[in-house]
Each structure stands twice: as structure tokens, then as C-alpha cells.
Amino acid sequence: MNEDRMKGNWTQFKGKVKEQWGKLTDDDMDVIAGKRDQMLGKLQERQGLAKEAAEEQLNTWERANPDFRWD
């Protein structure tokens, strides 16, 4: 997938991510920028989750949003 398409994919799904995890800020979204490892770190930090819990929540979100692809 080319870079423009990946950016469009992230832009499209940012709103869904923020709906799911309301404590994430716009600055967090810029840091995450479609990268799964960054997303896990921010979930742990902002939501106060252990790594395993963040991974479980993210896996659940990914199953609910199968069209999304991480960078």
C-alpha cells in the first residue's frame, strides 16, 4: 500500500480510535500516526493499562475494524 493511501486510512480511522479511547489527544494521534507499537504505548500511558490489557483492547478493536491496516 502506498504512503498516501496509508495516511488516508489512518485519517479515516482516527475518529474511531478516539471514540473507543477518549483519553487520547490529537497530539497522541499525531504521534501514533498509524503505527501499532505507538498505539499500544499511548493506550498504556493514557488509559493506565498494563501491556497485556492494552494488547487485548487493541486486538478487539482490530477485529471490529478489519478494513484498517497499521503502517
What confidence score (pLDDT) does residue 7 get? 58
Tell me the chain's radius of gyration from C-alpha atoms: 11
How far is Cα 66 from Cα 63, in angstroms, rounded to an integer?
6
**Global pTM value:** 0.84
DSSP 54: H
Number of alpha helices (DSSP H) and beta strands (DSSP E) in the chain: 4, 0
pLDDT averaged over consecutive 10-residue blocks of the chain (71 residues)? 58 91 95 95 96 97 92 80
What confidence score (pLDDT) does residue 33 get? 93
